[in-house]
């Protein structure tokens, strides 16, 4: 049982941290004086805020130790997507080429996947890894880093840190023809046809060659998957069923170009252990 004095100290530290990042968000222009968030024109607000080198240095100093995180294991169904574009060609490139990832997802546990989530369980970075695992096994658990901020506050702060440090912007590549949130609007037969096209396209691009070799490799992959599933359902139908189960972004929060792209160095430099 925690003592009352310890509780007060913990609460005081949390309140102090909250005041710190709230002040920064207000200066950035994404929070008003009443604490309401507005992420419209977020990139422009961040660029204006960081316009001078002095502001960059002061911001990085002020934000230091403000973003803290813990490693958690969480059911994949509890995670909420926050971007409006997830591309199935990238998803199936992982499923087809990362055999270790695929095996672990089918077994129900992925221990070596870095997915960054907010305190309210929105995905900040790792949507394609999340989607790949979900399509393979909606009941699996993922290893994630959960930070101490809700999504609306975490997103502008992390984007501003990356901008201030001169990190590369999120890639804007991606064909909306393969965006899962467009494809799930199709009927089952149409979605299955599109999925078959995607798998063949991915398999032929630097993966399994072309022609008969490609067809044999795809058939072999699906046969192996069929044996692992033991669900009396063809793998293609299994994928389609799980794609329809994918939750939509809540409120269509952000476009992919507004989402941070973090590598391991970024995570180590930005997020401190609790």
User: With b meaning 16 or more CB within 10 Å and e meaning fewer, what string describes 217-239?
Assistant: bbeebeeebbeeeeeeeebbebb
Mean pLDDT of 33-47: 90
What predicted TM-score, i.e. pTM, was given to this entire model? Answer: 0.85
Question: CA 262 → CA 54, 226, 237, distances in Å?
Answer: 24, 34, 33
* Token pair 């359902």: residue: 233
For residue range 208-255, list pLDDT tens digits in order: 666 777 778 788 888 878 777 766 778 889 999 999 999 988 755 567
**pLDDT value for 6:** 40
For residue range 134-175, list pLDDT tens digits in order: 999 999 999 999 999 999 999 999 999 988 888 765 555 567
Residue 105 neighbours by CB under 8 Å, 6+ apart:
132, 133, 136, 137, 140
Two structure tokens written together for 90? 């990238």
For residue range 126-139, list pLDDT tens digits in order: 999 999 999 999 99
147 exposed, middle or buried (CB, 10 Å; 0-12, 13-18, 19+)? buried
For residue range 74-106, list pLDDT tens digits in order: 999 999 999 889 999 999 988 888 888 888 998
């Amino acid at each position: 049982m925690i003592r009352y004095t310890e509780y007060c100290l913990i609460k005081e530290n949390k309140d102090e941290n909250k005041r710190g990042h709230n002040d920064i968000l207000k200066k950035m222009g994404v929070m008003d004086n009443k604490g309401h968030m507005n992420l419209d024109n977020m990139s422009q607000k961040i660029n204006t805020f960081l316009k001078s080198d002095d502001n960059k240095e002061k911001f990085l100093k002020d934000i230091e130790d403000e973003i803290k995180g813990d490693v958690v294991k969480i059911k994949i169904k509890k995670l909420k997507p926050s971007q409006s574009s997830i591309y199935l060609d990238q998803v199936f490139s992982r499923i087809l080429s990362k055999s270790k990832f695929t095996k672990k997802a089918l077994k129900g546990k992925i221990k070596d996947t870095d997915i960054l989530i907010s305190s309210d369980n929105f995905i900040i970075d790792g949507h394609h890894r999340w989607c790949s695992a979900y399509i393979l096994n909606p009941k699996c658990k993922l290893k994630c880093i959960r930070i101490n901020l809700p999504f609306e506050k975490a997103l502008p702060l992390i984007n501003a840190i990356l901008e201030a440090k001169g990190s590369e912007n999120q890639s804007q590549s991606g064909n909306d023809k393969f965006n899962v949130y467009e494809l799930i609007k199709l009927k089952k037969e149409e979605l299955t046809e599109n999925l078959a096209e995607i798998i063949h396209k991915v398999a032929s691009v630097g993966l399994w060659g072309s022609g008969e070799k490609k067809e044999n490799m795809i058939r072999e992959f699906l046969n192996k998957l069929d044996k692992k599933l033991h669900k009396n359902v063809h793998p293609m139908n299994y994928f389609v069923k799980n794609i329809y189960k994918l939750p939509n972004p809540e409120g269509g929060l952000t476009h992919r170009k507004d989402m941070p792209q973090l590598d391991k160095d970024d995570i180590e430099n930005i997020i401190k252990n609790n």
